[in-house]
Amino acid sequence: MSNGGNPAALLPLLIFMAVMIGIGFYVRQVQARGFGRNFVQQYFIGNHDLGGFVLAMTTVATYSSVSSFVGGPGMAWQIGFGWIYMAVVQVTAIFLVLGIFGKRVALLSRKFDAVTVVDIIRERFQSDGLASLAAFIIVLFFCATMTAQFVGGAKLFAAVTGYSYEMGLLLFGLAVVVYTTVGGFRAVALTDTCCAVIMMVGIVLLLYHVLDAGGGYTAIMDNLHNNHPEMFEPYSGGHMPAGLYLTQWILVGICTIALPQSVVRGISYKDTASLHRAMLIGTVVVGFMNIGINFTGILAHGVLTGDLASYGGVDNIIPRTIVTVMPPALVGLAIIGPLAASISTISGLLIVASSAIIKDVYLHNQHKRGKEPGTKQLRLLSMLATAVIGVVVFVIALTPPSLIWIINMFAFGGLETAFFWMLLLGLFWRRANKLGAILSMGGGTLVYCLTQGLGFKVMGLHQITIGITASLLFFLLGTYLGKPQDERVLAEFFPYRKN
């Protein structure tokens, strides 16, 4: 890789980031008049009017992170088809999150005028303490996840373009903070849509040039069959044990349906037809991305034929592939895909973290005191909260912790432990009550963090298996020991069901 900067790689990135910022200011201008009527709804959920295509793309883009385009295909390069068999469970994620929570959350949000997932949690369990704990967990784990995205994107930028890590961070890091702060959820949804399209274009470009550099599909497959036959085995000669399948299906598959940044999409669509369209489009798109980029990682083994150590580790495989197979003039386009995955995840998390502070904590406390902040004050505070969170994460990323990828997965598991059972049982089980929800969220998350900190595992499985199990047991314990929820609340959530 070049030590000097590649201007041809920089120009497409500059144009892309300028377009993203332009969308943010355009949305801000269009919505300016609407802010006077209901700023909070417009800024944090786009006023419940997302169509099917945009809903699908913003859900996919937020779900896909930079590790989906760097670490994942790098592992596929090393493991082979076993990695795709493991990762293919993610194809169902969009269908499940919108299918299970989409319509339910949409109906409840309109009934209670809810803007956030925490709003619905507060209404369901009638607990300000639980709502505050949920908001705290969202902000804490989101900040860790955003830091990982900043670091991953900046490292990728430096590896591919030859410019510095700090320059990459400055270029796309500030861009995402600016357009999210200015345009709110609507800008996030539209830029996510652009990012998702760019991701698909990037995958197609990279796949084409990998096949070309490797002498075609048949030549690459023959090479792998002859030299690495274990790459075609489900267990990859012992590199993909059954326990890893189980852990990953839980961590990046089943439990992702309850991630707050995904569930909040259910609040934002305009009608049932849009939801159904988004479920179909989103499943097709995430399937194409997931299988396409990991399959490209396998094919890259026909181009990068050295051992893993010679390339500096799994995370360097895709950057190395890009600069090896792509013409210099197209390197800038190829890198936009992974960076788009990074910034779309950051923007999605940023706006939800901001809403947790302003809507779930500040505004709720103001209403309890009988105060109604003005639109101008809310606009200023909301934009300030978004900007401050973004800048804080940006500053942390300037001196990244060495264990950043572990922190990323830790945060992912923490969110799933905290929200999976509480949302699933809370919204679909009439018996679920406040004590069960508090014990599940607080106790489950604590157990997960402790086992992570101590490095304790059961049968070598990731600690998410312990956290999610403890969370369920705590929920059941609290539900059967605690008082049933008020009938008035249950009638609102389950109007056609009895005990």
Domain residue ranges in the chain: 7-33+48-404
pLDDT at 373 over 50: yes
pLDDT at 36 over 70: no
Which residue has tokens 């209404």?
A: 123
Query: Does domain 7-33+48-404 fall into CATH 1.20.1730.10?
Result: yes
Rounded CA-CA distance 254/465 in Å is 12
Q: What is the maximum alpha-carbon separation in the chain?
A: 74
**Percentage, residues of the chain above pLDDT 70:** 96
pLDDT tens digits for range 315-329: 889 889 988 998 887
How does DSSP classify residue 258? Answer: G
Lowest mean pLDDT among 183-192, 206-215, 444-453: 183-192
The pLDDT value given to residue 325? 92
The pLDDT value given to residue 208? 94
| E strand or H helix at 259 | none
The pLDDT value given to residue 256? 82
pLDDT at 215 over 90: yes
pLDDT at 447 over 90: yes
The pLDDT value given to residue 37? 57
Rounded CA-CA distance 130/437 in Å is 8
| CB of 282 closer than 8 Å to CB of 94 | yes
The pLDDT value given to residue 121? 94
Lowest mean pLDDT among 4-8, 45-49, 71-75: 4-8
pLDDT tens digits for range 287-342: 998 899 999 999 999 999 988 888 888 888 988 998 899 888 788 878 888 888 88
The pLDDT value given to residue 249? 83
Give the burial class of 239: count Cβ atoms within 10 A of its Cβ; 0-12 exposed, 13-18 middle, 19 or more buried.
Answer: middle
Which residue has tokens 């800038």?
A: 332
Rounded CA-CA distance 239/249 in Å is 16
The pLDDT value given to residue 2? 45
pTM assigned to the model: 0.86
Coil, strand or helix at 228: coil
Buried b (16+ CB within 10 A) or exposed e, 21-59: bebbebbbeebeeebeeebbbbbbbbbbebebbbbbbbb
pLDDT at 113 over 70: yes
The pLDDT value given to residue 418? 95
Lowest mean pLDDT among 123-137, 277-291, 393-407, 441-455: 393-407
The pLDDT value given to residue 440? 96
The number of helix segments (H) and strand segments (E) in the chain equals 25, 0
How would residue 34 be classed by pLDDT, with cut points 50, 70 and 90? low
* Most confident of the following: 8-22, 208-222, 328-342: 208-222
Lowest mean pLDDT among 29-33, 277-281, 423-427: 29-33
How does DSSP classify residue 46? Answer: G
pLDDT at 129 over 70: yes
The pLDDT value given to residue 1? 44
List, in order, residues 6 or more apart from 384 with CB less than 8 Å away: none
Report the 3 state secondary structure along 297-349. HHHHHHCCCCCHHHHCCHHHHHHHHHHHHCCHHHHHHHHHHHHHHHHHHHHHH
The pLDDT value given to residue 434? 96
Buried b (16+ CB within 10 A) or exposed e, 283-308: bebbbbbbbbbbbbbbbbbbbbeeee
* Averaged pLDDT, 467-496: 93
Rounded CA-CA distance 13/485 in Å is 53
* 487-to-429, 431, 435 alpha-carbon distances in Å: 14, 11, 16
| CB of 342 closer than 8 Å to CB of 66 | yes
List, in order, residues 6 or more apart from 372 with CB less than 8 Å away: 366
**Percentage, residues of the chain above pLDDT 90:** 32
User: Of 262, 263, 258, nearest to 419 (Cα)?
Assistant: 258
| Tokens linked to 353 | 């973290």
Lowest mean pLDDT among 8-12, 168-172, 177-181: 8-12
| CB of 176 closer than 8 Å to CB of 350 | yes
On average, the pLDDT of the chain sits at 87
Higher pLDDT, 13 or 434: 434
